[in-house]
Chains A and B, each alone.
Chain A
């Protein structure tokens, strides 16, 4: 902040008020709907995770690719017989892991291990941690 303006400076600064006021009153409208354009682009992005927006460009990785990587990691855990994974959530990265567990496996501990493995796999593939990992144990066999 500079020192207090002098009267002369104030008057000079105020001299543009009229023109600025005139400009402010001029009607301005976009020639086409930017909202529609944006919604189209957001809809098209569904199914894609935006993982990095940088000066060099934007990286997008398909949800299918991430889900497959997570399923492979989870399936390799002791106590997991089958696993399927989907990515959900519009504005948050939510991973839903559904498993069939090996009979007699402690299920709460298994769910914790699945969650940790899923989180790690998402971070490794998408470079971004999921906000939520839901684990559903559907059956034991």
Chain B
């Protein structure tokens, strides 16, 4: 599955900005982060469930990125590296404080609300709520795979790279996660 909002486009002058940021140019770093901010936030929101937690995780990820910029050698795409840092920050936050509040409606817009009649819209909103609840109930490692593969549209290889696990582990986790989601959603109907 691939999503429309998957891997972000390469930032203009990314290499130049990276070099400047490595030399300590905070403004160059800011330009890079502005380009990836929404992607990082989207991952964090799906991992953590609440906007406040997601913002904290992204801020923490940006600070970590700034502090470890000198160690980033460019072996992986910058987006992959940032996905990795963001996911790790989320996993750390989940360990520290498990979220209990589902996403509020403000962050769950219908994709094509104009094409749906009110009853369908209500049904879709309810389905999304149930899905988010089910995702929130997944073990963190499975949740990360679902978010990166199914929601962000990364390839299996990219997910393995981000999570630093084998391809087989990614496929196994994703399969188990989807089965669990199917069970959860079936149980709610």
Contacts and interface: CB of A to CB of B under 8 A. Distances in A.
Main secondary structure of the interface of B (DSSP, over half): helix
Interface in B130-165: 131-132, 146, 150-153
Contact of B5 (A22, A25, A35): A25
Interface in B2-51: 3-5, 22-24, 26, 29-30, 33-34, 37-38, 40-42, 45-46, 51
Contacts of B40: 34
Contacts of B67: 50, 91
Interface residues of B, number: 56
B93 interface: no
Contacts of B132: 23
A7 interface: no
B5 to A, nearest CB: 7
Contact of B24 (A23, A30, A43, A91): A91
B185 A16 contact: yes
B69 interface: yes
B127 A19 contact: yes
Contacts of B45: 28
A93 B145 CA distance: 36
Across the A-B interface, give the 8 residue pairs with the lowest CB-CB distance, nearest first: A90-B24, A24-B3, A13-B178, A38-B62, A35-B33, A20-B150, A1-B172, A30-B41
Given A12-B178, A20-B146, A23-B128, 14 more contacts: A1-B169, A9-B175, A13-B175, A13-B179, A16-B181, A19-B185, A20-B151, A24-B5, A28-B42, A30-B41, A32-B55, A41-B63, A50-B67, A91-B22
